Structure 1
């Protein structure tokens, strides 16, 4: 089987497979490659026949990689990257094209660590492009595995999902509760029962902070009421809290800047035990270029400085 695969596999098989893995859709992959959907399907069938294994699960809504498909993707990407590097080495330094770091991030880190690091990097490396995409943690992991990102600021997941990835912790972010200035709950130290009488803005369903939020409430004998606003978008959470009577329950990184600016008031309700590690995700065994390493170094330093600094104080 191995000798047959080596002698008959072609680059078109790898390009087609990688395109489908990245788009998770046969039709979109075909548009990207300039092929019809039947041609994409035929090429994938040929590749699976050569390997003697299923690489993809085909569904009406798109495709998912099998466990073997995820493993094969890492090798396919490496082959195509090696070919690109070989072409660049022959063409000379000017053949490498525009330099860019592809970065993914959880929406909650955008107003805090990410925006500061991006602004600083733009000042010191104006010649390096930054392409930033936000998404839920599983989405970031999928993008990393499909080589659509170089780095991501996200969270740990279960071992099966994290296969082939490295995680480096930057900080542990607890959940906080905040309201606008002048809110009734800001006048005197409230209880959690007082908070539950107001509309809530909580992390999105399926996210790690959402699980922590439900656990935090459960420890005090509460469950999430109906009618809550669910979002992982820090900007929407902040705007809702500023322009309504809602209480915003979110990781510290999502609201730190608004607290420091005095736009929001932190409620003195402990989020102890709700801490979720946030850190850098990257493909295991893959070296970053000099510019990406510089960006990572800056992120580490900023995260360390944040961990040593004082936490936002509750204000009435």
Structure 2
């Protein structure tokens, strides 16, 4: 049985006239008659009675009509679904993100994307960069927003944005009231850094920034998320160097100050597996604001 047979059957069932049904299908009448004969042979029942009074559905034809309508509707739904999936309009996107993206437009990006693509389910989970890399390799994420472009060969990435580093100090720190501070002025302070395990490359980068300013940071605590780092600073347990986005986090007790030195910025990258196209990933990335 072919779907064209069902379309021919339904056209005749609705028109109850082979000529009008053929016109509706944009075919001549003989092929239509052949299609109905082939369908009746496949079904094993006569579906129409034809005589001088016209064309009528048989009881078998009446029963077959409702199921044939359902089958065609399901087939059309399946075709529409396949087209939507290919176009990135439906499905599920598993998205990992580092905390700084929440204060750099990620929420607005997600809301705009969901409004434009209501059939897409976006599952978001906050993970540090290393955990996102592991999840991407394990195919547990479709897309990651992370702080490094030093990735395994199986992963690809593109830059999203960059922002400066700021000194993060307790509110009662002697330098908290300064307009700008020199990083070297914090050389004797206990430092709270992003976890070496959570993002080895990012941890090493901050250590290198301090070394370039003539000192090695005295590590007091580590946090697996940047908000943990900022919160520990706010409680007076040390100082840190953090992406500028966290100034907008509203953590009470923390002060953020620009540095007198020009430092390489903190960057965020979108990362994904190289193998296999993912229309949803492409659709999501294409929908990002110019400055997320």
TM-score (norm 2): 0.59
For the pair 1:215 / 2:208, whether they are aligned, the reply is yes
Aligned with residue 175 of structure 2, among 176, 185, 203: 185
Number of the residue aligned with 2:28: none
For the pair 1:258 / 2:249, whether they are aligned, the reply is yes
For the pair 1:293 / 2:269, whether they are aligned, the reply is no
Aligned with residue 283 of structure 1, among 269, 273, 280: 273
Number of the residue aligned with 1:302: 291
1:157 aligned counterpart, secondary structure: coil
Is this contact kept in 1: 2:182–2:261, CA < 8 A? no
Aligned with residue 153 of structure 1, among 128, 145, 157: 145
How many aligned residue pairs are there? 209
Q: Structure 1 residue 193: deviation in Å? A: 4.4
Aligned with residue 110 of structure 2, among 114, 118, 126: 118
Aligned with residue 138 of structure 1, among 107, 130, 134: 130
Number of the residue aligned with 2:101: 109
Within a 5 Å distance, the mapping from 1:218-233 to structure 2 comes to 218-226=211-219, 228-233=220-225
Of 90-99 and 169-178, more deviation after overlay is shown by 90-99
Is this contact kept in 1: 2:167–2:183, CA < 8 A? no
Residues 106 and 271 (structure 1), Cα distance of their counterparts in 2 relative to 1, 3 Å cut: farther
Q: Structure 1 residue 237: deviation in Å? A: 2.2
Unaligned runs of 5+ in 2: 1-73
Unaligned runs of 5+ in 1: 1-87, 304-316
In 2, Cα distance between equivalents of 1:214 and 1:252: 18
Q: Structure 1 residue 190: deviation in Å? A: 4.0
Number of the residue aligned with 1:92: 78
Aligned with residue 229 of structure 2, among 233, 237, 244: 237
In 2, Cα distance between equivalents of 1:133 and 1:145: 16
Number of the residue aligned with 1:272: 262
2:278 aligned counterpart, secondary structure: coil
Q: Structure 1 residue 250: deviation in Å? A: 1.7
Residues 238 and 126 (structure 1), Cα distance of their counterparts in 2 relative to 1, 3 Å cut: farther
Q: CA RMSD in A?
A: 3.4
Q: Structure 1 residue 177: deviation in Å? A: 1.0
Aligned with residue 162 of structure 2, among 165, 168, 172: 172
Residues 266 and 93 (structure 1), Cα distance of their counterparts in 2 relative to 1, 3 Å cut: same
Residues 124 and 263 (structure 1), Cα distance of their counterparts in 2 relative to 1, 3 Å cut: farther
Is this contact kept in 1: 2:145–2:269, CA < 8 A? yes
Q: Which has the higher strand share?
A: 2
Q: Structure 1 residue 214: deviation in Å? A: 0.7
